[in-house]
Structure 1
Amino acid sequence: MKIGDLARETGVSVRLLRYYEDQGLLTSDRTDGGHRHYTAAAPTTVTQIRTLLAAGLPTKTIRDLMPCFLGDGPELDACVQEHLQTQLQKLDSRMTDLQHARTSLSALLDASTRASQLASSRA
């Protein structure tokens, strides 16, 4: 399968497919003319990569997890559950931090709006 065919089948741009290959997430063979050729399993690999990216995992982590997929689905071997749990905890922590920042920013905006309204009413 050529890179353009893989892009059409998966809905992923040619540029991203090249990036996945550069990151060691996807492999191809090269023709004598230097064109990439992917196996029939490549669409499944791309789907698995996209699943892990959607979960917020960095490409370095994804590269390590790719061999742990069980078949063609999104299921991963039990040996990576601890790693995924750690990633989930990090995400929860970031979400908490973002919620605190949002609350602070909202309070600042409210105070600034009240001050502006008060100044306008005095004028």
Structure 2
Amino acid sequence: MTAHNLTDGRDDPYLWLEDIEGDKAVGWVDAQNARTDGFLVDESYQRDFDAVLKILDADDRIPFVSKSGDHLYNFWKDAQHPRGLWRRTTLDSYKTDKPDWDVLLDIDAL
């Protein structure tokens, strides 16, 4: 059996991308940017983007939580907090219509 070193780049066909100022990497990035720009100028992209953003910024969406100890934790992003809030609440509070969240970290305030 052959052991492989995870840092051995001989089998990595994309190792050249790590040379971020190399001609090959910069050329590839320029080509990908041009390809992406073609999608971004399409009217259907902006329409779909706006529809998704409206859903993601909706105040009535249910926060996804993870449980740790006696608390439920959530990372919340919305129009008022574009970078996000790390917050927690209790299960009893989460079951209410308006949970009482303790903000642990306001990324936008940093």
Structure 1 length-normalised TM = 0.29
RCO higher in structure (CA 8 A, sep ≥6): 1
Q: TM-score, normalised by structure 2?
A: 0.31
Per residue, is there more helix in 1 or in 2? Answer: 1
More strand by share: 2
